[in-house]
Amino acid sequence: MINFVSKVAVFAFALTYSLQFVELVSGFRHWKWSSTSGKVNPLENDISALVTNLPGQPKVDFRHYAGYVTVNRTNGRALFYWFYEAASRPDEKPLVLWLNGGPGCSSVGYGATQEIGPFIVDTNGHGLKFNPSSWNKEANMLFLESPVGVGFSYSNTSTDYAKLGDDFTANDAYSFLHEWFIKFPSYRNRSFYIAGESYAGKYVPELAELVHDRNKDPSLHIDLKGILLGNPETSDADDWRGIVDYAWSHAVVSDETHKIIKENCDFNSNNIWDNEDCNKAVSELFDQYKEIDIYSLYTSVCIAESASSGDDDSYQVMMKRSSTMMPRIMGGYYDPCLDEYAKAFYNRLDVQKALHVSDGVHLRNWTICNLKIFNNWTDSKPSVLPIYKKLIAAGLRIWVYSGDTDGRVPVLSTRYSLSSLGLNITKAWRPWYHQKQVSGWFQEYEGLTFATFRGAGHAVPCFKPNNSLAFFTSFLNGESPPSTRS
């Protein structure tokens, strides 16, 4: 009898709580954009997405959430996110969306797990370790797996996967933001920034432009303040010239190969690869890069058997010549085996259950990069420099940084691209410092700041975690990177 009464009491409590939660969620659906105070109240946000039992997670004092946001109910398109509140005073700090590129690579697998998130995947995917240089020390960090087909994001309509491209991705990411704000209303009026690296050099400004344009409708307003781009693909022709000149200037290719490319490759043409001499010389360049890590010229490659099993597919993608799109190879950054560790971790049933991906019984296949997405990419803007000009005119903060040992989107590519903007220089080229050492160089223009990271590869935070956090802090504060040793 006592057990029966106890069970009834527990059921009654659970039913009352459930009804309150349903009412809360229902309220979100009819929530007015202007109603939030900006304070973080965990009961206002989607508590069903709260992550509470992630295997191997270090103990922390901040909340984090993970799950899906449906961006198209008709087709069943849903994007997976992982959101970390700021480590302290989250109600006072901005919201930053981070995107990785590819196209086809995971922002959770790279950005959150290897670079700037609070938890870095540990050796062999057995667990997580704390990242003392996490960017959530300075901001509330939102990582999005985009577009569908990346990581855990999916669509129930197979034809969606044949439409993937820049515009498709930007529109889904924009829909995601508004749906996410319904789930997390206390962040709706927060200062907002978009950051990313590599092919997200196109994603980020494209999404920023969409936000800027649609902000003309006050009911859709998002308080976008600026964008931050790391080793970004920007302008295809300039990116190609940079990759060639960088390989030559860093002794990856011979003088003869470099000369053939310069004389035969017109990177402004839509028919680059019709020139046989150009094609052969560029192939020779990438043959040399097969021997090292194109993302980090001076670090070791992963020689584990599991990490080398997909080499043939990776190089096939890298050598794709169907358009002016940049090449893509899969590889590690700081620890060249981290990709495999991430794959092992996110394909654990207990991890997927904790992240609200699966029920802990049915496994979802997770890969750090989806090669099919790259191969089927139908829409890629040849240049986002016109968007730069538009965002600069709108007064948005634009910072671009470049690790100077990256051969994939080298510092030369970025310098060539930014040079073509013709911006006036407001603060001339000079070193910037971290802990009294030269961290790199920077130059400020009217509406844009460009900086390098000395000795860093493609994913800068992997190589220079403390420096990148300091740089990120300067960006958020709208202050120049430190230009003295003090």
pLDDT in tens, 301-359: 766 544 443 444 443 334 444 445 555 444 344 455 678 889 999 999 999 999 999 98
Q: What pLDDT is attached to residue 299?
A: 86
Count of residues in the chain:
486
Reported as half-sphere exposure (CB side, CA atoms, 13 A), residue 352 has a value of 19
Query: Of 120, 14, 419, whose CA–CA distance to 242 is shortest?
Result: 419
Tell me how far apart the alpha carbons of residues 293 and 300 are, in angstroms, rounded to a whole number. Answer: 7
Instruction: Please pick, among 106, 402, 458, 468, the residue that the annotation labels catalytic.
Output: 458
Give 295's contacts (C-beta < 8 A, 6+ positions apart): 331, 332, 333, 406, 407, 408, 457, 458, 459
Instruction: Determine the residue type at 460.
Output: V
> Would you place residue 300 in the very low, low, confident or very high pLDDT band (cuts 50, 70, 90)?
confident
Q: What is the DSSP string of 8-33?
A: HHHHHHHHHHHHHHHHHHHHHHT--G
- Alpha-carbon span 212 to 221, nearest angstrom: 9
Element (H, E) at 339: helix 338-346
Region 263-283 average pLDDT: 92
Question: Does the pLDDT of residue 404 top 50, yes or no?
Answer: yes
| φ, ψ at 294 (rounded to 5°) | -60, -25
Residue identified by tokens 């935070």 is: 461
pLDDT for 304 equals: 55
Q: From the candidates 160, 238, 339, 406, which is the catalytic residue?
A: 406
Mean pLDDT of 37-65: 84
The string of pLDDT tens digits covering residues 196-222 is: 999 999 999 999 999 999 999 999 999
277-286 contact pairs (CB < 8 A, 24+)? 279/321, 281/257, 282/244, 283/319, 284/253, 284/257, 285/243, 285/244, 285/247, 285/252, 285/253, 285/257, 285/261, 286/315, 286/318, 286/319, 286/327
The model's confidence at residue 293, banded by pLDDT at 50, 70 and 90, is confident
CA 229 to CA 67: how far, in whole Å? 26
Res. 75: pLDDT tops 60: yes
What pLDDT, on the 0 to 100 scale, is given for residue 336? 56
Give percent of the chain above pLDDT 90: 74
Closest CA to 282 of 311, 253, 255: 253
Of 153, 198, 296, 439, the active-site residue reads 198
Is residue 306 annotated as a catalytic residue, yes or no? no
The domain spans of the chain are: 47-236+379-477
- Is pLDDT at 228 greater than 80 in this prediction? yes
- Residues 250 and 263: their CA atoms lie apart, in Å, by 20
Q: Which CATH number fits domain 47-236+379-477: 3.40.50.80, 3.30.230.10, 3.40.50.1820, 3.40.710.10?
A: 3.40.50.1820
Q: Which residue has the tokens 């230009």?
A: 483
Percentages helix, strand, coil for the chain (3-state, rounded to 5) are 40, 20, 40
Cα distances (angstroms) measured from residue 64 to each of 17, 84, 226: 22, 4, 24
Average pLDDT for 434-446: 97
- According to DSSP, residue 266 is labeled -
Does an H or E element contain 120, and which? Answer: strand 119-121
Task: Flag whether the pTM goes above 0.85.
Answer: yes
Give yes or no: 314 in active site.
no
Whether 458 is catalytic is yes
Q: Which of 137-146, 149-158, 272-281 comes out lowest in average pLDDT? A: 272-281
Q: Residues 160-202: pLDDT tens digits?
A: 999 999 999 999 999 999 999 999 999 999 999 999 999 999 9
